[in-house]
Structures are given as C-alpha cells and as structure tokens.
Amino acid sequence: MREYNINLDAKKMPDAWYNIMPDMPTPMVPPLHPGTLQPCGPQDLAAIFPMPLIEQEVSMQPMISIPGEVMDIYRLWRPTPLRRAYRLEQALGTPAKIFYKNESVSPAGSHKLNTSVPQAYYNKISGVNELSTETGAGQWGTALSIACAMFDMKCTVYMVGVSFQQKPYRRSMIEAFGAKVISSPSQTTEIGRKLAAEYPDSGGSLGIAISEAVEVAVTSGGTTKYSLGSVLNHVLLHQTIIGEEAKLQLESVGEYPDVIIGCCGGGSNYAGISFPFAPDKIKGGKNIDFIAAEPAACPTITRGTYAYDFGDTGQMTPLLKQYTLGHNFMPPGIHAGGLRYHGVATQVAHLVHEGVMRAVAYQQNPCFEAALIFARSEGIIPAPESSHAIRAAIDEALKCKESGETKTILFSLSGHGHFDMTAYDAYLSGKLEDYELEQDVLNKGIASIPNLG
Amino acid sequence: MREYNINLDAKKMPDAWYNIMPDMPTPMVPPLHPGTLQPCGPQDLAAIFPMPLIEQEVSMQPMISIPGEVMDIYRLWRPTPLRRAYRLEQALGTPAKIFYKNESVSPAGSHKLNTSVPQAYYNKISGVNELSTETGAGQWGTALSIACAMFDMKCTVYMVGVSFQQKPYRRSMIEAFGAKVISSPSQTTEIGRKLAAEYPDSGGSLGIAISEAVEVAVTSGGTTKYSLGSVLNHVLLHQTIIGEEAKLQLESVGEYPDVIIGCCGGGSNYAGISFPFAPDKIKGGKNIDFIAAEPAACPTITRGTYAYDFGDTGQMTPLLKQYTLGHNFMPPGIHAGGLRYHGVATQVAHLVHEGVMRAVAYQQNPCFEAALIFARSEGIIPAPESSHAIRAAIDEALKCKESGETKTILFSLSGHGHFDMTAYDAYLSGKLEDYELEQDVLNKGIASIPNLG
C-alpha cells in the first residue's frame, strides 16, 4: 500500500519553535535605527510590538517553547500532512521522490496562521485587545482575523485598495471572522488622508497600507499594536513548526531530503520549511541543496544588492542588512501578490550570502504550467505563490529524470489558490503576462538603497 | 491534552462501501419506467450508465469492495479527520459532546469527490473515456472534473447559466482540471437549442442542464456516459465511507453518537454520514436520533408528499417513491444551491417514512448565523449547505444545555464555503432574504406529482 499522507501523531507535534540565530555560521550585523542609523535595541520596537515578541525578535535561545494556548489552536489543523507526491512523480516520469508539506489545510488556507496565532496570543497576554495590520493579496489579513477571533480580540485590516476591489471574496472572508477591513489609502488615518489627497487616483500600495496600520498602533496609546506577517525573526521562528514537523515525518519513513524548496517573498514560508534542516548542513556537513523560489518580476535575491535597506517605502522601519531591489522598487502586478516584496528576511539573506542557500527566479507562466501539472495529478489547486516552489521542485525532478538520480525533494505547499482563480483564468485563456524587468525599473529601485558609506 | 482531530490510520481505512438495501426494515417498492410506468430493470439505464454502476444501483449485497485504484485516489485526502468541536462546545456553553466529520478537506472541497472518483473509474474500465454532467452551484462539476483528470478522461459540464455568470471561480476551477464548461441552455444540444429559443431570457435551470448532459450521453453511441452526483443508490453507497470512518474514529475514543446530523438535498451527504449507523437502530435497537437538515425554502421531507415522482422536470428519469414537492416545484434562489432539489433519495425517504429518521427545515439566516458561530470557534468557513447541519447540531447542543444532558452529537461538515463568500457578504450586510413559501408555489409543485391511482 502506498502511503500518500505521512501523518504525525498529534502527541508528537513539536512543542518549541526553532531559532536559527545561535546556529548562524558567521555573526550577523544588527538592524539600524531609521533616524540615528545606530544599532537599534528592543525599546525601539516597543511602540508597535508587545515585549514577548520583541524578546523573540532578538533571542539567542536555540528553542522557544510554544505556549499551551497556542498549541491548543495549532491542533485545530496541525500537524499538517506531509504528502508523498506519487502521482506527480508518475506524471513526470522521474526517479526522484517528491514530498510536500501541505500547509494549505489550515483554516486560513496558508501557512500564515502559524504566526498570526502566537502573535495574537502574545499581544493578548500583554494586555493588548486590538491589532492593526495591512494585507495585499489577503492571505495575511485572513490569518490575522482568524487568530483574533480565536482570542476574542479586535482586528483592523488595511487592505490595498486595488485588492479590496479585485478580491471581494478575500475581504468577505476576513469580515466573516469579525475583523474590520478598510480600503487603503483611507480617511481613517492622517497618513491615509494625506496620501489619498496627494494621489487621488491611487489604488493604494502595501507601503501605504503598512503606514496606516502602523499609525493606528503608534497613536493608540498602547491599546492597539501592529502585526506583521513576514520578514522579522519572530515571524520566521513561528513558521519553523513546518520544517520541524516535516523532519519528524520524513524520519518516520526513513527519508532525508537532498533538496529543500520553498517559495520566497519576505521569507517566512521559505524559512519555515528550510531552517530546521539548516544546522545539519552548517554544523553537520550534510549536503543539502536549499532553494528559495522567487518571481522573476521581483527577483530580490537573484538580482538584488546585499545591503542595508528600509523595510518599507515610507522609511519608517529599521534598516536591515538584506538582499534588496530598493525600498522604492515597484514590482509588476503579478498574481503571486505574496511575493511582491523588495527585500527578504535578513536571516535568509545572510544564509544565501554565506553560501548555505541559493535562489532561483521564475516567470509566472511556467509557474502556472507547473501548478496545473500538480493540480491534475495531486488534486490541489495551489496558490500562485506556492506555484513557484512547485516549478522548482518539478525542475529538480526532471533533472533527476535526465541524470537517473533518485534524489529526495521536499517542498512547502504554502497555500491553496481558491481565492486566486482569476489568475488561473488568465493563464488558461493565454492572457497571463510574463514581465522582463526593464533596466530603468531596476535602476530606480537600486537608486533608493541608502548609501551608508 | 485535548485531542481535537481524531485521525484514522490510513491502513485502517474501510475497503468496502456499505449498502443499506439488505438492512431496510421493510421492503422497498421498485422504480418505474417513465414511459410504461412498469417496474424498470437494469437494461433501462444502460444508455446512460456503465454496467458496474447499474449493478451497484440494484445490488442487495451488504458490502461492496472498493477497487484498489479508487482506494489509491481516496488516500490523497482520506481518511478525513473527525474533529471534536471543543471550541464550539465552549462557545455554546453546552455539556454535549460535538463531533464533526470534516469532508471539506477533499481537493474538491466537499464530499462529492467520494462518488465522482468511483464513477469515473467504473466508466473507465467499461471503455468509456468521456463523461457528461450538469452542475448548479459547481461543487459536483468540480468533483467530477478532478476525478476525470485522475483517470485521464474527458469531461463536459453543463453549468446552469445563472451560476456560470455568478460563480466564475467555480467555472475556473473546473476548467483548471481540464474539463469543458458549457453555459446551459447551450447551442450544443438539441434540447438546449430548443429551450434557449423557447426561453430566450432564461438563465437556465438544473432541469435543463440535466437534459443537455443526458442528451450528450444518449446520442454519443456509447462513447460518453452520464454521471449524477446524488439521489441514486450507487451514489449514496459511495458516500458511506464517511460514516464508516466516523464510526471507527468514534470507537477509537470510546464514543457512540446519540444524534447524527447531515444536511440533505438529494440525500447523498446525509446518507453518507447516517447509513452506516442505521442498522444499529433498525436491527440493534440503539436509540439514535437521525436528523436530515433541509432548507425551509425547499422543504422536501418536512412538507413534501410521499409518492412516486420523476427525478427531473423533463420527465426523462424513472419514477421513484420519495418525498417530493413535485418535479415542477421551483425553489427560491437560496445560497445553498446543493439543497435546491424537489425530491430526495428513495432510501432516505423510506427510512423517514418508516420512522427510523426525521427531518428539520431551516431558513437561511439562522443557518448563516450558525455558520459564523462555527467559523469563529472552529476556524472553518462552511458551505451554505453544511450550515444547515451546523444549525441543527447547535440547536441539539443548546437543548442539552437546557436539560443538562451530555449527548454525543455527530454531524457531517460536507464542504467549505470558499466559493460562496457572496452569500456571507449578503448575510453580514443584512441583505440575506428568508423565504416563506407561498401556498400557490407549493400547490403548483404538488400538482405536478403524477397521480398513479
């Protein structure tokens, strides 16, 4: 009997997150304060985050216990299945073994719930009863609204105006969980009113939505905090439950991956699947090929500069050493909205720079082609973001077909595409565009990277 | 530790479907041929169904083996989790124990895949390479398109015109799996052209779409067969895997249900959760309250007549003894499209008539209220159809709260509502209508029930 789903007994679900910081092969440089450009400390983040999350952000402990209340909610959908993609292997005719961690089974439909739940929890125990955030494609807004419903907290989501119009189902889903969704730029914040007046025809941007959500937190007098869905270390940390579970599941069938793949925007899903395996390469000498799959339309790692840069267009966040296309870089409107970020988590960037990991970039048409091969064999419609990981996994499997190698490939299926069917429509009707980045678009982004001498 | 998800080991997944026919408390009357009104035999169905399915339709074997090829595909998502709804119980403050079988985890998002896979398989081994079907809300079309993709078969789905326009994401999903979707009435069939000319402004109906799909099969010379997603015994049979698994899962935690609930349209989901428990009441004397939850706008069992009637508006199908509102009954446009059927499976009807089972009917607003209580505690957005079962389960749990009884309640979560967010939008904005059926609407339906003397 073929064991398609490798389940992990709920009693064996890991009860601590893995923190990669102490295992880094070389020391990392600190974040810099956006005003002083001096290394910034925990107190600089206290206006927008609660102390337990700030402590995780700077922690050097190797493992951080998952609170019982968070475990209880994780158990609603975790451990997630690890699936052996027998049918995909057969469709490709590859000798490779392909495994994927199915994060699409979460109530939010993606991995994002792994961090929204602990973020809501730590805010709640810190006396915070309301969270503000931004959302582009809507995955993160959905995940935070569910987490807030679980802890009986209020939630306000600034949704990029264009998405608010184009993705009404995502908005409805967020509202179904009791959160308030505001089209950004809005009239509810000072920065929103200012930018709405400056750009009357603007459909909004993630940069503007972040500014609105941060303003709500900063001006609340402490009752409201801000919540971020990727990029920061505490977010990456919460996602390591993905890779920790996958490791145990692979062990249970006597397997260990030769290749580990995740799609990569801000880096939280990619870190989630890869970080728990990283020390085996850094300290254990294992030969693992770690691949971050990113969009060619926003090729942060493959074509970005390794430098300090801001996390947002408005230059309000600390500067992080990262691969960046520049905080003013404006990526084309690809459907993988979750990967349209100019930078990448500093921990992922550091490991790429040190040669532990690498990145590949894909145009969206080959990604949707891979998504349909996957859907028709495995039955699941993947999110456009996840299709980048699938493309990379299929390419690695096809290399094995050529070479005859029987590699074990592991990738993260970060989410399903139930709310992204317009993208599939565009692909199926031949109307999906690929984007070759023009040099002046790249130059404009690069010009915004601060020159710190 | 609370065990939220009661998983069943893949090795323990049942390998045979349960056929209720030999366990019926009293004999059933046969279907009648629509032309002769005489009992109809297997040969009368051969033009539209392959012989292995016709054999199952009339089988008196208690268990029917699930073929290995079907088991292999079932294993992509089965066994499905049985979840103890601790958080819902807590939200209600009930002493009742609530369990639900989560069929929303299937790639199709509903229980429909349990029958589309074996239907495709039996057609394939009978030399049929193409299936035609109709779909209203789109759940069945999705499920059949996935099954056909798995067996490399062609699939044509006649989608009710109104839904084709209103639910473009459902259409896209069906197309993503390679099926052809045609808005009905269409120009591709004789009956379609005829009805499109007769009713130029018609948005179509399930009755018309069925006629088109059947015509394609009948006129194909045997290369194409027709596939139905509910009502018939072979369909109910395939769904019993739901209740069989649930029974094993409850046993594993030492539980047995006092109340078993499923939403009920044609009856396949309801039969799936309930039939495997039925002999324990019929023959074993167990005191189980079986509840079929139906919409007040289409109250087939609660307000229908127990009589022979056609399965379709066009009077092309055999007549079945059933509860029916009349084959001309036109239900209001509620969002639970899967429950808008004038009749119910003859096996379900027989058990209600014999006092083994009962039905309740709900308006859609209280169902969506229940759906949101469920979503905010359990994290899952249910399909509008499933919300009827949730309403019934909540009502039973609240009765326990009043009486202090600690009943064990089991219901089937037949599907998720990711493609039904417009309905949630309508509910959240207070624009969702309840429908009190007017007497002349009921009378018009009743008048179409054949008088067989």
Percent of chain B scoring above 70 in pLDDT: 99
pLDDT on residue B41: 85
For the ranges A201-210, A264-273, A346-355, the lowest mean pLDDT is seen at A201-210
Helix (H, G, I), strand (E, B) or coil at B223: coil
The answer to whether A214 and A226 are in contact (CB under 8 A) is: yes
Among A76, A108, A372, beta carbon nearest to B176: A372
B425/A172 CB distance under 8 A: yes
Distance in angstroms (rounded) separating the CA atoms of residues B226 and B344: 20
Q: Is the pLDDT of residue A453 over 70?
A: no
A253 touches chain B (CB under 8 A): no
* Reported ipTM exceeds the 0.90 cut: yes
Helical packing angle, A421-428 and A364-378, nearest 10° = 110
CB of B150 less than 8 A from some CB of A: yes
What dihedral do alpha carbons B146, B413, B162, B194 form, nearest 10°?
70
**Mean pLDDT of all residues in A187-213:** 83
Residue written as token pair 């309905």: B423
Contact A423, A432 (CB under 8 A): yes
Rounded to an integer, the average pLDDT of B100-105 is: 96
Q: pLDDT band for position A107 (50/70/90)? A: very high
Each residue's pLDDT tens digit, A331-359: 887 888 888 889 999 999 999 999 999 99
Is residue A27 very low, low, confident or very high in pLDDT (cuts 50, 70, 90)?
very high
DSSP state of A31: P
Q: With a cut of 70, say whether residue B453 has pLDDT above it.
A: no
Query: What's the gap in Å between the CA of A26 and the closest CA on chain B?
Result: 40
Average pLDDT over residues A26-33: 94
Contacts of A4 in chain B (CB under 8 A): 10, 72, 75-76
Q: What is the pLDDT of residues B314-332, one digit of tens each?
A: 787 889 999 999 988 878 8
pLDDT of residue A331: 81
> Domain-by-domain residue ranges, chain B?
5-10+67-109+234-437
Q: Looking at residue B162, what is its pLDDT?
A: 83
**Which residues in chain B are contacts of A11 at CB distance < 8 A?**
1
Give the separation between CA A348 and CA B304, rounded to whole angstroms.
Answer: 63
pLDDT, mean over chain A: 94
- Chain B residues whose beta carbon lies within 8 Å of the beta carbon of residue A76: 4-5, 83, 87, 378-379
Backbone φ and ψ of A319, nearest 5°: -90, 135
Residues 6+ away with beta carbon under 8 Å from B185:
B161, B191, B192, B193, B195, B196, B199, B202, B204, B208, B212
Tally of CB atoms within 10 A around A11: 8
Q: Supply the pLDDT for residue A154.
A: 98
Residues, chain B: 453
Ramachandran assignment for A259, one of left (phi > 0), alpha (psi -120 to 50 degrees), beta (any other): beta
The two beta strands, B305-310 and B319-324, are: antiparallel
Check if B421 contacts A (Cβ < 8 Å).
yes
> What pLDDT is attached to residue A316?
78
Task: Tell whether B76 is within 8 A of chain A (Cβ).
Answer: yes
d(CA A41, CA B338): 57
For residue A376, give the nearest of B77, B149, B419 by CB distance: B149
Closest CA to B308 of B40, B86, B72, B73: B40
- Beta carbons of B75 and A4 less than 8 Å apart: yes
Q: Which residues of chain A have a CB within 8 Å of the CB of B83?
A: 76
Rounded CA separation B381/B424 (Å): 9
pLDDT at B60: 96
> How far apart are alpha carbons A17 and A67 in whole angstroms?
10
Per-residue model confidence as pLDDT tens digits over A431-447: 999 988 989 889 989 99
Which is higher by pLDDT, A4 or B118? B118
Average pLDDT value for residue range B67-74: 96
pLDDT in tens, A287-323: 999 999 999 999 999 999 999 999 877 787 889 999 9
Q: In what order do the strands lie in the sheet with A289-295?
A: A5-6, A82-84, A97-102, A408-413, A259-263, A289-295, A357-362
Q: What is the pLDDT of residues B106-148, one digit of tens each?
A: 999 999 999 999 999 999 999 999 999 999 889 999 999 999 9
The token pair that represents A380 in the structure block: 């699941």
Specify the pLDDT at position B237: 98
Architecture of the B5-10+67-109+234-437 domain: 3-Layer(aba) Sandwich (3.40)
What is the distance between the alpha carbons of residues A145 and A156, in angstroms, rounded to a whole number?
A: 8
Q: Which residues of A touch B175 (CB under 8 A)?
A: 424-425, 428
Do B271 and B239 contact (CB within 8 A), yes or no? Answer: yes
Q: Give the best-scoring range by mean pLDDT among B37-46, B188-197, B403-412.
A: B403-412
Question: Which chain B residues contact residue A175 at CB under 8 A?
Answer: 424-425, 428
pLDDT of residue B124: 98
pLDDT in tens, B231-286: 999 999 999 999 999 999 999 999 999 999 999 999 999 999 999 999 999 999 99
What is the mean pLDDT of the segment spanning A57-66?
Answer: 96
Cβ atoms < 10 Å from Cβ of B207:
22
Q: Cis peptide before A67, with omega less than 30 degrees from 0?
A: no
Hey, are the CB atoms on A376 and B178 less than 8 Å from each other? yes
Residue A198 CB burial class (10 angstroms; 0-12, 13-18, ≥19): exposed
Please give, rounded to a whole number of angstroms, the shortest distance from the CA of B185 to a CA of chain A.
Answer: 22
Report pLDDT for A380: 96
- pTM reported for the whole predicted model: 0.94
Distance from CA of A186 to the nearest CA of B (A): 21
For residues A237-265, give the mean pLDDT.
98
Residues B154-172, buried b or exposed e (16+ Cβ, 10 A)?
ebbbbbbbbbbebbebbbb
Is some CB atom of chain B closer than 8 A to the CB atom of A12? no
Q: What is the mean pLDDT of chain B?
A: 94
pLDDT at A232 over 90: yes
Give residue B203's pLDDT: 76
Residues 6+ apart with CB under 8 A from A141: A133, A134, A135, A157, A159, A170, A174, A179, A181
Rounded Cα–Cα distance for residues B215 and A283 (Å): 67
Phi/psi region, residue B285 (left: phi>0; alpha: psi -120 to 50; beta: rest), is left
Q: Tell me, yes or no, if B431 comes closer than 8 A to chain A by beta carbon.
A: no
Which of A146, A82, A138 has the alpha carbon at shortest distance from A114? A146
Q: Which of A76, A148, A150 to mutate to test the interface with B (most CBs of B within 10 A)?
A: A76
Enumerate the residues of chain B whose CB falls inside 8 A of the CB of residue A109. 418
**Residue predicted with more confidence, B204 or A372:** A372
Q: Please write the tens of the pLDDT for every residue from A381-397.
A: 999 999 999 999 999 99
Cβ separation B75–A5 shorter than 8 A: yes
Task: Pick B428's closest partner by Cβ from A76, A149, A175.
Answer: A175
Chain A stretch 347-406, residues whose beta carbon is closer than 8 A to a beta carbon of chain B: 372, 375-376, 378-381
What's the pLDDT at B2?
A: 77
On whether the CB atoms of residues B74 and B66 are closer than 8 A, the answer is yes
Q: Which of B151, B172, B429 to mutate to test the interface with A (most CBs of A within 10 A)?
A: B172
Q: Do B176 and A424 touch (CB under 8 A)?
A: yes
Does the beta-carbon distance from A381 to B176 stay under 8 Å? yes
Strand partners, A159: A135, A183
pLDDT score recorded for residue B202: 67
Tell me the average pLDDT across A188-209.
Answer: 82
SS3 state at A131: strand
A5, B5: Cβ pair inside 8 Å? no
Nearest residue, CB atoms, B7 vs list A1, A7, A375: A7
Residues A39-44: what's their mean pLDDT?
Answer: 88
Is residue A203 scored above 80 in pLDDT?
Answer: no
Q: Is B87 on the interface with A (CB under 8 A)?
A: yes
pLDDT tens by residue, B385-410: 999 999 999 999 999 999 999 999 99
* Runs of H (alpha helix) within B42-167: 51-58, 68-74, 86-92, 113-125, 139-150, 161-166
pLDDT at A394: 98
How much is the pLDDT for B47? Answer: 86
pLDDT tens for residues A408-423?
Answer: 999 999 999 999 998 9
